[in-house]
Amino acid sequence: MNLLVTGITGQSGKWFLRRLIQSGNTIPELNVKAIVRDKSKMLKEDLGSLRLEYLYGDLFDEDFVANALKGIDVVLHLAGIGKSEIMVQKATENSVKWMILVHTAGIFSKYKAAAQPYLLIEERINNLLKNKAIDLTILRPTMIYGNMKDENISVFIKMVDKLKFFPVISGGKYPIQPVYEKDLGEAYFQILTHREKTINKQYVLSGKEPITLRETFKVIADLLRKKNYFINVPFSIAYLLSIKLYWLSFKKIDYREKVQRMVESRAISHADAAHDFGYTPVDFRTGLMPEIEQFKQTKNY
């Protein structure tokens, strides 16, 4: 298998690489190429017997992408839905047989502004692949966490640590189902090794079980040994403030969608993934502990 991976230096990508290294020769005749933007992004891992070549370039450079895809059988695209169309377009011009695209569970949002851009991209991708002999698998992670650069749970950790009186929109009663980045790395590997079951399918990759936002904050507070007092903020007020901030910042700071998504359920079952390739993510508290320890080290707790 000649595999091209994008986003291998990202949150889940580094765990996927480690899983490949651990696997030895589980995938016969595996050759891996990984696209990174510059040499400083190259992961310093002991590759063991893994055959890995780094390619340095920009995923928005169509000529670079086309050259990177020459001789590739399978693409694992972790670098974001915004770059998927170029990858798919150039794959149709090469010998690629299977595209695995990691997109987002945000496509299921009830808010048009949140979901519509993703829906349009996937519609265009389906049109590109129409009548093409390329298998497609789409993965939809929920909120990804696992380190202090995740821009999701890391924001909550900083807020819980800083604020004794903690605002929660609509009581924080809506469930989320965050997914630990290491579990995603394992899922990518399992999908590659279960091709016969996973081609031409779509999978939600969520955490072990739903947890409300308020419970999320409480778990964080407990691990930080903090005592917080939660203050309910009605959605109407929170959303109005996000609109004002958007205009006062001259459209530079936009929390409108984030506020909207705080009052909708983002708990989505991963039953199909569990059935087809044995996906078994950890519970939120277990996955959170390494991130909390990382935060403590930066704060000299």
| 225 pLDDT tier (thresholds 50, 70, 90) | very high
| 228 pLDDT tier (thresholds 50, 70, 90) | very high
For residue range 47-103, list pLDDT tens digits in order: 888 899 999 999 999 999 999 999 999 999 999 999 999 999 999 999 899 999 999
Report pTM.
0.92
For residue range 167-201, list pLDDT tens digits in order: 899 999 999 999 999 999 999 999 999 999 999 99
| Residue 211 and residue 176 in contact, taking contact as beta carbons nearer than 8 Å | yes
| Arithmetic mean of pLDDT, 232-247 | 94
Q: Of 263, 286, 273, 293, nearest to 111 (Cα)?
A: 263
Rg (CA), the chain: 20
Q: Quickly tell me which residue has 């992408």 as its tokens.
A: 65
pLDDT attached to residue 274: 98
| 44 pLDDT tier (thresholds 50, 70, 90) | confident
For residue range 102-118, list pLDDT tens digits in order: 999 999 999 888 899 99
Average predicted confidence (pLDDT) for the chain = 94
| 300 pLDDT tier (thresholds 50, 70, 90) | confident
| 240 pLDDT tier (thresholds 50, 70, 90) | very high
Domain extents in the chain: 2-141
CATH H superfamily, domain 2-141: NAD(P)-binding Rossmann-like Domain (3.40.50.720)
Strand ranges in the chain using DSSP code E only, listed in sequence order: 2-6, 31-36, 51-56, 74-77, 98-102, 135-141, 144-145, 165-169, 175-176, 179-180, 202-205, 211-212, 229-233
Question: How far is it, in rounded angstroms, from Cα 192 to Cα 29?
Answer: 13
